Chains A and B, each alone.
Chain A
Amino acid sequence: MGIFGKIAQGLKKTRDAFAKKFYSLFTGRKLDEDFYDELEGVLLSSDLGVEATDNILSEFKEECFRRRISDAEDAKDLLRSIMADTIDYDIEPYSYPLVILVAGVNGVGKTTALGKLARFFKDKGKSVVLAAADTFRAAAGEQLEVWAKRSDVRIIKHEEGSDPAAVVFDAISSAKAKGTDVVLIDTAGRLQNKKNLMNELSKINRVVEREYPQCDYRTYIVIDATTGQNALSQVEAFDEIIDMDGIILNKLDGTAKGGVVFAISAERELPVVFVGVGEQVDDLLEFNARDFIDALFE
């Protein structure tokens, strides 16, 4: 199965809800006010948010006018490319040694995403070590340990309640000593308005920057696709603390569309790098804007 097929399958439910609405919207219609109103409704109820919806709609209207498109079916491809453009970024390829830190609020699936990332790099023939720096949540370390076994990679773990920065320090030392290609850091979930916890995250970040300046260091925020506009506030707060490089959009196998990434893109220009489309170990895919949009529309 090609990458497209896999995304399309993973996004099936996402697609069903979204595509059904789009299909009825674009079939045999004239581009009148009713049409635009309905389109606005579809975009809003897909969590795109007011601003991104307005942006996309006004660009779409303008282009329709400029190209003298009056039939809805002809306009479909146009909308597709406008939407894809808003979330399409060039992402620099990884170089090794590589450190990836995942952060995010509670319950978005950080540990699971990290477990899948381990398999992703393992499959590329890279050696991987996991750093269980979520020392706060009960049994988070054990959960990561299960994932480490599934992908057969090493894990560095301290006791519950210990200093997460120390775990990261140890993981990096171990990676240096053994020449490991990839260090993946799991962190505790934290709500973005909890100042102390956010400071802790910045400490972890400093450890990586200080101890491993020669590595390719990426920081990803994990976002639950069911999250609404609060995701914007999450990105804003985490970005302020540790300059995020990208988004892992998780739980796209539900009925939520993850439309908030359009809102995030409009405000922060932060690219989506991976999407989580299921609970299996290989259900994490590299993000591709065209595929994402195609899968939504097909």
Chain B
Amino acid sequence: MGAFSGLSDRLSHIFSKLRDKGKLTELEVKGAMREVRIALLEADVNLGVVKQFVNSVSEKAVGEQVLKSLSPAQQVISIVNEELTAIMGGTSSKIAVADKPPTIILMCGLQGGGKTTMCGKLAVMLRKQGKKPMLVACDVYRPAAIKQLQVVGKSADVPVFEMGQIDPQKIMRGALKEAETKMCDTLIVDTAGRLHIDNQLMDEIAGLKRNFHPDEILLVVDSMTGQDAVNVAKAFNDVMDVTGVVLTKLDGDTRGGAALSIRAVTGKPIKFCGTGEKLSDIEVFHPDRMASRILGMGDVLTLIEKAQNAFSEEEAKEMQRKMREKSFTLDDYLAQFDKMKSMGDMSQVLGMIPGLSGKLKGQDVSVDEGKLEQNKAIILSMTKAERANPDIIKGSRKKRIASGSGTTIQDVNILLKQFTQARDMMSRMSNMGRRGFKMPF
């Protein structure tokens, strides 16, 4: 990324300078705060919010107790961390459920924020939680928006209700009837992107709120939004009284300052965030974890959760036993590829490991998905006996496997070597950790 380093890097850098010092003077803290101000502004945190933030941190940081404590820099960092978390709200929030179904979730926001995709992600998430969601196509303006929602609905495996480009009120009435016959308990309503200053369109969406009393009104905001985020959020909140905010495109290299601004201005919780192109790339928003991520302190909790979602407990135990006894086979290796993929983008996962997020910047840590597929093809071209006992794979077998998987003998060799190394390392690791050390998955 070169000169363009993230807020976490920037703050880490500022505070690594502070860490080197035993004691801090008031002047030094003030100097650091000036840099925090710049870093936050460059992260697109709203100017007003920045001022307020810097003031409250400075006030706490220059207090007697901090300056005289043994590790003042550490104290300042934890104050910054606490304040960031406080601004982003206390705890995470869930989706409200209607007393009498269906629950209506209304999505709103500017053009291009990612509403349609987010509808699909919410649908997948709710379906996994045992709900029966239905998507409702109320974006009657953008060309092909309905078609897009249909495609999204198909890959999310949920029904999509549309009536073409007619009055959204009529579509909603139709959708409610349809939900009853299809026994759907949740309606996720996609609406057209609109400017917060477009009175006519704002009236239209206010009408949906008035007549259908949605249980959730979610404002979808692009996490790359600049200073204007506060104006947009405020305008939508004034008209719609939104119940929560969804941040999209957090998988970019954005520093996500919009999150801070919106929360500070509207007081509404950020509930979810979109973190990738796939429909499963949605996460519950955890303010405390986000603060840690911004500060470059890693996000171990999310990492463990991701691993837990990918591996069941039995699977993990079985895996540990195999590692210990060195009976780990190529079939297990194959299974791991799929788990890795379901954990999501590797560079993102690695970024959650404490101490790594800063160091990884600028390095290519992306896992080549094509390579993963190739390795899968190689293993799938082996016989059962070969997978269970890779040692028998010699010259002619390699040749057959290579031609079967459309690769070269070199590719097969590389895979086998990687496998042996992984197996040896894992057995060493698990033996080392037999007492006390427990794998997170």
Contact = CB atoms under 8 A, between A and B. Distances in A.
Interface string B319-357: 000000000000000000000000000010000000000
Chief secondary structure at chain A's binding surface: loop
A107 B143 contact: no
A195 B366 contact: yes
A41 interface: yes
Interface string B249-280: 10111110110000000000000000001000
A186 interface: no
A3 interface: no
A195 B144 CA distance: 28
A228 B44 contact: yes
Interface in A90-132: 105-109
A236 interface: yes
Contact of A254 (B196, B368, B369): B196
Interface stretch (A43-51, A60-68, A211-219, A241-249): A43-51
A280 interface: no
B252 A138 contact: no
Which of B197, B253, B254 counts the most A-chain CB atoms under 10 A from its CB? B254
A107 B112 contact: yes
A194 B110 CA distance: 24
A107 B113 contact: yes
A228 B152 contact: no
Interface residues of A, number: 49
Interface string A250-267: 010111110110000000
Contact of A139 (B147, B228, B368): B147
Q: Chain B interface residue count: which class?
A: 35 or more
B252 A228 contact: no
Contacts of A145: 143-144
B44 A229 contact: yes
A253 B195 contact: yes
Contact of A106 (B42, B114, B232): B114
Interface in A125-155: 137-140, 142-143, 145-147
A142 B143 contact: yes
Interface stretch (B218-226, B377-385, B425-433): B218-226
Given A146-B143, A255-B196, A105 B224 contact: yes
A226 B222 contact: yes
A25 to B, nearest CB: 15
B25 interface: no
Contacts of A139: 144-145, 147-148, 150-151
A176 to B, nearest CB: 29
B309 interface: no
Contacts of B152: 138
Contact of A255 (B41, B145, B197): B197
B110 A196 contact: no
Contacts of B366: 195-196
Contacts of B225: 226-228
Contact of A44 (B47, B116, B364): B47
A138 B195 contact: no
A138 B226 contact: no
A193 B361 CA distance: 11
Contacts of A142: 143-144, 147
A24 to B, nearest CB: 16
A191 B252 contact: yes
Interface in B208-241: 222, 224-229, 231-232
A227 B42 contact: no
Contacts of A160: 151
A195 B366 CA distance: 7
Given A106-B112, A191-B251, A229-B44, A143 B144 contact: yes
A192 interface: yes
Interface of B: 1-2, 4, 38, 41-44, 46-48, 110-114, 116, 141-145, 147-148, 150-152, 195-197, 222, 224-229, 231-232, 249, 251-255, 257-258, 277, 347, 364, 366, 368-369
Interface of A: 13, 17, 41, 44-47, 49-50, 105-109, 137-140, 142-143, 145-147, 160, 191-196, 224, 226-233, 236, 251, 253-257, 259-260, 279
14 contacts: A45-B227, A47-B226, A49-B41, A107-B114, A145-B143, A191-B249, A195-B364, A224-B222, A227-B226, A228-B226, A230-B226, A254-B110, A255-B196, A260-B226
Given A224-B224, A229-B42, 8 more contacts: A105-B249, A138-B148, A143-B142, A145-B144, A191-B252, A226-B222, A227-B225, A251-B112
